[in-house]
Structure 1
Amino acid sequence: MNDLDRHDVLLLAELQRDARQTVQQLAAAAGLSSTPCWKRVKEMETAGIIRGYTALVDREKVGLSLCVLAEVNLTRHHEDDVRRFEDAVAAEPRIVSCYATTGQADYVIKVLVPDIKRYESFLHETLFKLAGVTHVRSSVVLKEVKAETRLPLEVPGARTAGRRLR
Protein backbone atom coordinates (compact mmCIF):
# COMPACT_ATOMS: atom_id res chain seq x y z
CA MET A 1 0.00 0.00 0.00
CA ASN A 2 2.58 2.55 -1.13
CA ASP A 3 0.37 4.70 -3.35
CA LEU A 4 -2.22 6.67 -1.44
CA ASP A 5 -5.17 7.98 -3.39
CA ARG A 6 -7.33 11.00 -2.64
CA HIS A 7 -9.64 9.05 -0.30
CA ASP A 8 -6.72 7.64 1.70
CA VAL A 9 -5.21 11.10 2.14
CA LEU A 10 -8.57 12.55 3.17
CA LEU A 11 -9.00 9.75 5.72
CA LEU A 12 -5.52 10.35 7.12
CA ALA A 13 -6.14 14.09 7.36
CA GLU A 14 -9.41 13.50 9.21
CA LEU A 15 -7.83 11.01 11.59
CA GLN A 16 -5.01 13.45 12.32
CA ARG A 17 -7.59 16.15 13.02
CA ASP A 18 -9.69 13.93 15.30
CA ALA A 19 -9.00 10.22 15.67
CA ARG A 20 -12.12 9.68 17.78
CA GLN A 21 -14.48 10.09 14.82
CA THR A 22 -16.83 7.25 13.96
CA VAL A 23 -16.42 5.31 10.74
CA GLN A 24 -19.55 7.05 9.48
CA GLN A 25 -18.04 10.49 10.13
CA LEU A 26 -14.77 9.51 8.45
CA ALA A 27 -16.62 8.04 5.48
CA ALA A 28 -18.64 11.23 4.99
CA ALA A 29 -15.51 13.39 5.12
CA ALA A 30 -13.71 11.20 2.56
CA GLY A 31 -16.68 10.71 0.26
CA LEU A 32 -16.96 6.97 0.89
CA SER A 33 -19.49 4.59 2.32
CA SER A 34 -18.78 3.04 5.73
CA THR A 35 -17.50 -0.41 4.70
CA PRO A 36 -14.89 0.77 2.17
CA CYS A 37 -13.84 3.48 4.64
CA TRP A 38 -13.34 0.95 7.44
CA LYS A 39 -11.38 -1.37 5.08
CA ARG A 40 -9.07 1.46 3.97
CA VAL A 41 -8.34 2.46 7.55
CA LYS A 42 -7.62 -1.18 8.51
CA GLU A 43 -5.33 -1.58 5.46
CA MET A 44 -3.41 1.56 6.42
CA GLU A 45 -3.07 0.26 9.99
CA THR A 46 -1.79 -3.11 8.73
CA ALA A 47 0.65 -1.41 6.34
CA GLY A 48 2.02 0.71 9.20
CA ILE A 49 0.91 3.98 7.61
CA ILE A 50 -1.26 4.52 10.68
CA ARG A 51 1.06 3.62 13.55
CA GLY A 52 -1.41 4.18 16.38
CA TYR A 53 -3.80 6.56 18.06
CA THR A 54 -3.06 8.87 20.95
CA ALA A 55 -4.30 11.78 23.04
CA LEU A 56 -2.49 15.11 22.84
CA VAL A 57 -1.65 16.21 26.37
CA ASP A 58 -0.76 19.78 27.32
CA ARG A 59 2.72 19.32 28.79
CA GLU A 60 2.58 22.41 31.00
CA LYS A 61 -0.73 21.36 32.55
CA VAL A 62 0.87 18.08 33.65
CA GLY A 63 3.91 19.78 35.17
CA LEU A 64 6.43 19.51 32.32
CA SER A 65 7.11 23.23 32.06
CA LEU A 66 10.68 23.09 30.80
CA CYS A 67 11.45 22.05 27.23
CA VAL A 68 15.10 21.77 26.23
CA LEU A 69 16.63 21.03 22.84
CA ALA A 70 20.05 19.49 23.31
CA GLU A 71 22.69 18.86 20.70
CA VAL A 72 24.70 15.75 21.54
CA ASN A 73 28.03 14.61 20.13
CA LEU A 74 29.53 11.14 20.48
CA THR A 75 33.21 10.28 20.84
CA ARG A 76 33.15 7.92 17.90
CA HIS A 77 30.60 6.53 15.51
CA HIS A 78 31.32 2.85 15.93
CA GLU A 79 28.20 0.77 15.33
CA ASP A 80 28.09 -0.59 18.91
CA ASP A 81 28.45 2.89 20.46
CA VAL A 82 25.72 4.32 18.27
CA ARG A 83 23.39 1.41 19.03
CA ARG A 84 23.98 1.69 22.79
CA PHE A 85 23.35 5.45 22.70
CA GLU A 86 20.18 5.11 20.63
CA ASP A 87 18.87 2.27 22.80
CA ALA A 88 19.46 4.34 25.96
CA VAL A 89 17.69 7.34 24.40
CA ALA A 90 14.74 5.18 23.35
CA ALA A 91 14.41 3.89 26.92
CA GLU A 92 14.52 7.36 28.55
CA PRO A 93 10.99 8.80 28.94
CA ARG A 94 12.17 12.39 29.48
CA ILE A 95 13.64 12.37 25.97
CA VAL A 96 10.55 12.74 23.81
CA SER A 97 12.29 12.97 20.43
CA CYS A 98 15.73 12.28 19.04
CA TYR A 99 17.12 12.98 15.58
CA ALA A 100 20.43 11.85 14.09
CA THR A 101 21.63 14.94 12.25
CA THR A 102 24.25 16.36 9.95
CA GLY A 103 26.17 19.49 10.91
CA GLN A 104 27.71 20.28 14.28
CA ALA A 105 25.72 17.79 16.35
CA ASP A 106 25.45 14.04 15.94
CA TYR A 107 21.99 14.09 17.56
CA VAL A 108 19.39 16.63 18.59
CA ILE A 109 17.13 15.56 21.43
CA LYS A 110 14.05 17.16 22.96
CA VAL A 111 13.80 16.81 26.72
CA LEU A 112 10.74 17.61 28.85
CA VAL A 113 11.12 18.12 32.60
CA PRO A 114 9.37 20.14 35.32
CA ASP A 115 12.12 22.73 35.86
CA ILE A 116 15.78 23.66 35.36
CA LYS A 117 16.89 21.77 38.50
CA ARG A 118 15.41 18.57 37.08
CA TYR A 119 17.15 19.22 33.78
CA GLU A 120 20.47 19.66 35.58
CA SER A 121 19.87 16.34 37.38
CA PHE A 122 18.94 14.70 34.08
CA LEU A 123 22.21 15.93 32.54
CA HIS A 124 24.42 14.67 35.37
CA GLU A 125 22.58 11.47 36.25
CA THR A 126 21.57 10.36 32.76
CA LEU A 127 22.85 12.12 29.66
CA PHE A 128 26.50 12.66 30.67
CA LYS A 129 26.68 9.02 31.80
CA LEU A 130 25.65 7.57 28.44
CA ALA A 131 28.50 5.73 26.79
CA GLY A 132 30.24 7.80 24.15
CA VAL A 133 28.68 11.20 24.92
CA THR A 134 31.42 13.84 24.70
CA HIS A 135 29.55 17.10 24.34
CA VAL A 136 26.06 18.41 25.08
CA ARG A 137 24.90 21.88 24.05
CA SER A 138 21.54 22.80 25.58
CA SER A 139 19.01 25.39 24.41
CA VAL A 140 16.09 26.15 26.70
CA VAL A 141 12.88 26.74 24.76
CA LEU A 142 11.39 30.10 25.74
CA LYS A 143 8.17 29.67 23.77
CA GLU A 144 6.81 27.04 21.40
CA VAL A 145 5.80 29.00 18.35
CA LYS A 146 4.61 25.89 16.52
CA ALA A 147 4.46 22.30 17.71
CA GLU A 148 2.35 20.57 15.06
CA THR A 149 1.75 16.84 15.21
CA ARG A 150 -0.18 16.60 11.94
CA LEU A 151 1.75 15.74 8.79
CA PRO A 152 1.36 18.13 5.83
CA LEU A 153 -0.45 15.71 3.54
CA GLU A 154 -1.04 16.64 -0.09
CA VAL A 155 -4.07 15.52 -2.05
CA PRO A 156 -2.97 13.54 -5.12
CA GLY A 157 -4.14 15.15 -8.36
CA ALA A 158 -5.31 18.36 -6.70
CA ARG A 159 -5.67 21.27 -9.13
CA THR A 160 -3.36 23.53 -7.16
CA ALA A 161 0.13 22.02 -7.05
CA GLY A 162 1.18 21.41 -3.46
CA ARG A 163 -2.33 21.88 -2.02
CA ARG A 164 -2.19 20.75 1.56
CA LEU A 165 -4.93 19.58 3.85
CA ARG A 166 -5.51 21.36 7.13
Structure 2
Amino acid sequence: MNLDSKDRHLLALLQQDCRASNADLADNVGMSTSACWRRIRAFEDAGLIEGYGARLRPAKLGLTFHAIVHVNLTRHDPAHLKRFIEAVSAREEVQECFAITGAADYHMRVRCTDIEAYNRFMEDFLFALPAVSSAQTNVILRDIKS
Protein backbone atom coordinates (compact mmCIF):
# COMPACT_ATOMS: atom_id res chain seq x y z
CA MET A 1 0.00 0.00 0.00
CA ASN A 2 1.46 3.33 -1.07
CA LEU A 3 0.98 6.01 1.57
CA ASP A 4 0.81 9.70 0.81
CA SER A 5 1.31 12.54 3.28
CA LYS A 6 -2.40 12.61 4.23
CA ASP A 7 -2.30 8.87 4.94
CA ARG A 8 0.75 9.27 7.18
CA HIS A 9 -0.82 12.23 8.97
CA LEU A 10 -4.05 10.30 9.50
CA LEU A 11 -2.17 7.30 10.88
CA ALA A 12 -0.20 9.55 13.24
CA LEU A 13 -3.44 11.10 14.52
CA LEU A 14 -4.95 7.64 15.08
CA GLN A 15 -1.87 6.59 17.05
CA GLN A 16 -2.17 9.68 19.24
CA ASP A 17 -5.90 9.21 19.88
CA CYS A 18 -7.76 6.31 18.32
CA ARG A 19 -10.98 7.56 19.89
CA ALA A 20 -10.96 10.81 17.91
CA SER A 21 -14.11 11.25 15.89
CA ASN A 22 -14.03 10.71 12.15
CA ALA A 23 -15.10 14.37 11.72
CA ASP A 24 -12.15 15.61 13.82
CA LEU A 25 -9.71 13.34 11.98
CA ALA A 26 -11.01 14.48 8.59
CA ASP A 27 -10.81 18.13 9.62
CA ASN A 28 -7.22 17.76 10.88
CA VAL A 29 -6.09 15.98 7.71
CA GLY A 30 -8.02 18.27 5.36
CA MET A 31 -10.44 15.84 3.71
CA SER A 32 -14.13 15.01 3.78
CA THR A 33 -15.48 12.72 6.48
CA SER A 34 -16.47 10.09 3.92
CA ALA A 35 -13.01 10.10 2.32
CA CYS A 36 -11.41 9.87 5.76
CA TRP A 37 -13.63 6.94 6.74
CA ARG A 38 -12.79 5.15 3.45
CA ARG A 39 -9.05 5.59 4.05
CA ILE A 40 -9.26 4.26 7.59
CA ARG A 41 -11.31 1.32 6.33
CA ALA A 42 -8.70 0.67 3.61
CA PHE A 43 -5.94 0.73 6.26
CA GLU A 44 -7.87 -1.85 8.30
CA ASP A 45 -8.61 -4.04 5.26
CA ALA A 46 -4.95 -3.95 4.21
CA GLY A 47 -3.86 -5.00 7.71
CA LEU A 48 -2.00 -1.74 8.26
CA ILE A 49 -4.06 -1.14 11.40
CA GLU A 50 -3.94 -4.24 13.59
CA GLY A 51 -6.43 -3.00 16.15
CA TYR A 52 -7.38 -0.28 18.57
CA GLY A 53 -6.75 -0.14 22.29
CA ALA A 54 -6.35 1.83 25.45
CA ARG A 55 -3.03 2.81 27.03
CA LEU A 56 -3.17 1.99 30.71
CA ARG A 57 -1.12 3.46 33.54
CA PRO A 58 0.61 0.46 35.11
CA ALA A 59 1.21 2.27 38.43
CA LYS A 60 -2.54 2.93 38.77
CA LEU A 61 -3.02 -0.84 38.40
CA GLY A 62 -0.49 -1.52 41.16
CA LEU A 63 2.28 -2.57 38.75
CA THR A 64 5.14 -0.51 40.13
CA PHE A 65 8.04 -2.85 39.24
CA HIS A 66 9.16 -2.64 35.61
CA ALA A 67 12.13 -4.47 34.09
CA ILE A 68 13.72 -5.62 30.88
CA VAL A 69 14.82 -9.24 31.19
CA HIS A 70 17.38 -10.79 28.84
CA VAL A 71 16.90 -14.57 28.75
CA ASN A 72 19.39 -17.18 27.61
CA LEU A 73 18.33 -20.71 26.75
CA THR A 74 20.32 -23.90 27.12
CA ARG A 75 18.18 -25.84 24.69
CA HIS A 76 17.05 -24.60 21.29
CA ASP A 77 15.27 -27.69 20.01
CA PRO A 78 11.73 -27.13 18.69
CA ALA A 79 9.95 -28.77 21.63
CA HIS A 80 11.70 -26.66 24.28
CA LEU A 81 11.36 -23.48 22.23
CA LYS A 82 7.63 -24.12 21.78
CA ARG A 83 7.15 -24.72 25.52
CA PHE A 84 9.13 -21.57 26.39
CA ILE A 85 7.16 -19.40 23.95
CA GLU A 86 3.79 -20.79 25.07
CA ALA A 87 4.63 -20.37 28.75
CA VAL A 88 5.89 -16.80 28.35
CA SER A 89 2.94 -15.86 26.15
CA ALA A 90 0.51 -17.01 28.84
CA ARG A 91 2.03 -14.94 31.66
CA GLU A 92 0.45 -11.54 32.26
CA GLU A 93 3.64 -10.21 33.84
CA VAL A 94 5.34 -10.52 30.43
CA GLN A 95 4.09 -7.56 28.44
CA GLU A 96 6.38 -8.06 25.46
CA CYS A 97 8.79 -10.76 24.36
CA PHE A 98 11.20 -10.68 21.42
CA ALA A 99 13.59 -13.23 19.96
CA ILE A 100 16.77 -11.20 19.49
CA THR A 101 20.31 -11.34 18.20
CA GLY A 102 23.30 -10.66 20.41
CA ALA A 103 24.27 -11.92 23.82
CA ALA A 104 20.76 -13.05 24.85
CA ASP A 105 18.18 -15.19 23.07
CA TYR A 106 15.05 -13.34 24.23
CA HIS A 107 14.22 -9.90 25.55
CA MET A 108 11.13 -9.48 27.74
CA ARG A 109 9.40 -6.45 29.21
CA VAL A 110 8.05 -7.52 32.60
CA ARG A 111 5.78 -5.68 35.03
CA CYS A 112 4.94 -6.82 38.55
CA THR A 113 3.45 -5.30 41.66
CA ASP A 114 6.81 -5.13 43.45
CA ILE A 115 10.25 -6.70 43.75
CA GLU A 116 8.91 -9.63 45.77
CA ALA A 117 6.39 -10.47 43.05
CA TYR A 118 9.16 -10.22 40.47
CA ASN A 119 11.35 -12.57 42.50
CA ARG A 120 8.48 -15.09 42.64
CA PHE A 121 7.99 -14.72 38.88
CA MET A 122 11.66 -15.47 38.28
CA GLU A 123 12.03 -18.34 40.77
CA ASP A 124 8.65 -20.04 40.42
CA PHE A 125 8.13 -19.51 36.71
CA LEU A 126 11.05 -18.44 34.54
CA PHE A 127 13.80 -20.53 36.12
CA ALA A 128 11.43 -23.50 36.31
CA LEU A 129 11.30 -23.67 32.51
CA PRO A 130 13.69 -26.43 31.35
CA ALA A 131 15.13 -24.45 28.44
CA VAL A 132 16.08 -21.37 30.50
CA SER A 133 19.72 -21.23 31.55
CA SER A 134 20.03 -17.64 32.78
CA ALA A 135 18.46 -14.22 32.85
CA GLN A 136 19.79 -10.72 33.32
CA THR A 137 17.47 -8.06 34.68
CA ASN A 138 17.63 -4.36 33.92
CA VAL A 139 15.25 -2.45 36.18
CA ILE A 140 13.44 0.44 34.49
CA LEU A 141 13.92 3.60 36.56
CA ARG A 142 11.52 5.75 34.53
CA ASP A 143 9.81 5.72 31.16
CA ILE A 144 11.16 8.27 28.73
CA LYS A 145 9.10 7.34 25.67
CA SER A 146 6.53 4.61 25.18
2:75 aligned with 1:69: no
Counterpart for residue 57 of structure 1:
56
Distance 1:94 1:137 in 2: 16
Distance 1:49 1:35 in 2: 19
Query: Number of residues paired by the alignment?
Result: 146
Q: Which moved more, 1:78-87 or 1:4-13?
A: 78-87
What is the correspondence of 1:21-36 to structure 2 with a 5 Å cutoff?
A: 21-36=20-35
Higher helix fraction: Structure 1 or Structure 2?
A: 2
* TM-score, length of structure 1 as denominator length: 0.82
* TM-score, length of structure 2 as denominator length: 0.93
Counterpart for residue 127 of structure 2:
128
Distance 2:39 2:58 in 1: 33
What is the correspondence of 1:34-53 to structure 2 with a 5 Å cutoff?
A: 34-53=33-52
Alpha-carbon distance, 1:12 to partner: 0.5
Runs of 4+ in 1 over 4 A off after TM superposition: none
Distance 1:36 1:107 in 2: 43
Alpha-carbon distance, 1:21 to partner: 0.9
Gaps of 5+ in 2: none
Question: Percent of counterpart pairs with the same letter?
Answer: 38
Gaps of 5+ in 1: 149-166
Alpha-carbon distance, 1:83 to partner: 2.4
